[in-house]
Amino acid sequence: MILTALLLVIAQNPAQDPRYERLDPDTRGRVVAIVDSARAAGLPSEPLVHRALEGALKHATGERIVAAVRRLAGDLSTARDALGSKATPAELEAGVAALRAGATPAVLTRMRDVRRPPVTMALAVLADLVASGVPADSAAAALLVLAPTARDADLVEFRRAVERDIALGAPPAAATSGQLDVASVRVDANARNARPGKP
Amino acid sequence: MFEQDQEDIVERVIRELRRPASIDRALDARVMSEIARPPARPVTRRPFARIWPWLAAAALLAAAVIARPWSRDTRADAFQFVLIAPQAASVALVGDFNDWDPARAPMHAARDGVWATVIPLAPGRYRYAFLVDGVEWRADPGAPAARDDEFGTPSSVVTVGGRGT
């Protein structure tokens, strides 16, 4: 009951969130303003708070923390525009990761259109592949091929296989292309098995 | 003689019938009151009347079990995080899932410098890192790197999927 009351107080007045005490007063005020503005725009606030707390723990300067939070708020807004107002906070965060990896907003929109929600894993794998050295265009193209029918587990397996080939010396684009063929066959087989009676 | 007996009996019956009967004075009023009362509603048997609430409750329970609104994108799966750090005196796992608070996720040392902890994660994408001895930042060598680290230290990401397709 006390916890519920505390959460209600924090929800009504985010500035009283005790987590903000880890920020210096000036940084706290600027971060709270950004978070309040984002919340008013219908964006999730927790990713912004987490980014500020990460900066505080890593002893980043106030300027750097505020810049990181402001940039994240802008990217969340772009991701929301691309994924639609029904996108979950998790999807928006994955969308931000994909955007920062080099995917265009149009790729996010296309992903939303071809895949049954949530699209969190598809966008996250796209970002992870780029982090592994795969060109953003190749990663986006591969994920858009797999997205309509692949399960989340298939996408994770695809990412691991590509990373394994890269670690063994394959050029990232070639590793992606090669593993895409393998994954497509497996995904198609899974899809057929999921529909008894189909050839 | 037999005829005489019969006549006596008949005579006694006649006398008895002619005797004025004593009737309760309120009887008339009670009779008229009963006549004036509207007829009671006939009792009909409704076989589902008693089980209807149970059927409704069962339907609601079945709908809740099928829809599982409590688990939509919110269920948490346990994830194990491991770091090999033989020289470390302490290791903490910090990330978006614990508000980057080292006190909330200290890792436990097993044999040969293997540090591990298990935490529940709901679907989502989380940034995290290991904090060794309170000063040294390390990314998870077994997880994708966070590409957008704006604070100059390595971090990793873990993505927990929702429903597959």
Last residue of a domain, one of A49, A83, A117: A83
B101-130 pLDDT, tens per residue? 999 988 988 888 999 999 999 988 999 999
Within this chain, do residues A70 and A122 fall inside the same structural domain, yes or no? no
**Domains, chain B:** 73-160 (2.60.40.10)
Question: Residue A21: what residue type?
Answer: E
A47-100 pLDDT, tens per residue? 999 999 999 999 999 999 999 999 999 999 999 999 999 999 999 999 999 999
Smallest Cα distance from A195 to chain B, Å: 13
Question: Is A97 inside a domain boundary?
Answer: no
pLDDT value for B64: 57
Mean pLDDT over all residues of chain A? 90
Q: Where are the beta strands (DSSP E) in chain B?
A: 77-84, 91-95, 108-109, 114-121, 124-132, 136-138, 156-160
Cβ-based neighbour number of residue A69 at 10 Å: 26
Say how far apart CA A13 and CA A35 lie, in whole Å.
12
A80, A42 Cβ separation under 8 angstroms: yes
Question: Is A90 inside a domain boundary?
Answer: no
pLDDT value for B48: 61
Smallest Cα distance from A139 to chain B, Å: 15
Q: Residue A28: which domain range?
A: 10-83
CB atoms B151 and A47 under 8 Å:
no
The C-alpha angle A126, A186, A167, rounded to 5 degrees, equals 50
pLDDT value for B94: 97
User: Residues of chain B with pLDDT > 70: what percent?
Assistant: 73
pLDDT value for B123: 87
CA atoms within 13 A on the CB side of A175: 21
pLDDT grade, residue B46 (50/70/90)?
low
Tell me, yes or no, if A37 comes closer than 8 A to chain B by beta carbon: no
Question: Is A160 inside a domain boundary?
Answer: yes
Within this chain, do residues A183 and A138 fall inside the same structural domain, yes or no? yes
Question: Is A99 inside a domain boundary?
Answer: no
Give, as one character, the DSSP assignment of residue B106: B
The strand pairing partners of B129, in sequence order, are B94
Q: Residue A57: phi, psi to the nearest 5? A: -65, -30
Within this chain, do residues A119 and A77 fall inside the same structural domain, yes or no? no
Question: Residue B95: what residue type?
Answer: G
Say how far apart CA A84 and CA A68 lie, in whole Å.
23
Tell me, yes or no, if A151 comes closer than 8 A to chain B by beta carbon: yes
How many helices (H) and strands (E) in chain A?
10, 0
Decide which of A161 and B54 is more confident: A161
Residue in chain B nearest A147 by alpha carbon = B165
Q: Which of A12-16, A115-119, B3-7 has the lowest mean pLDDT?
A: A12-16
Q: Give me the interface pTM, i.e. the ipTM.
A: 0.83
Instruction: Give the tokens for residue B28.
Output: 């008339």
Within this chain, do residues A75 and A113 fall inside the same structural domain, yes or no? no
Within this chain, do residues A34 and A69 fall inside the same structural domain, yes or no? yes
The pLDDT of A184-193, averaged and rounded, is: 78
Within this chain, do residues A79 and A161 fall inside the same structural domain, yes or no? no
pLDDT grade, residue B71 (50/70/90)?
very low
Say how far apart CA B18 and CA B39 lie, in whole Å.
37
Contacts of B132 by beta carbon, 8 Å cutoff, 6+ apart: B83, B85, B88, B90, B91, B138
Cβ-based neighbour number of residue B149 at 10 Å: 18
Distance of CA B50 to the CA centre of its chain: 23
**Contact pairs from chain A to chain B, CB under 8 Å:** 107
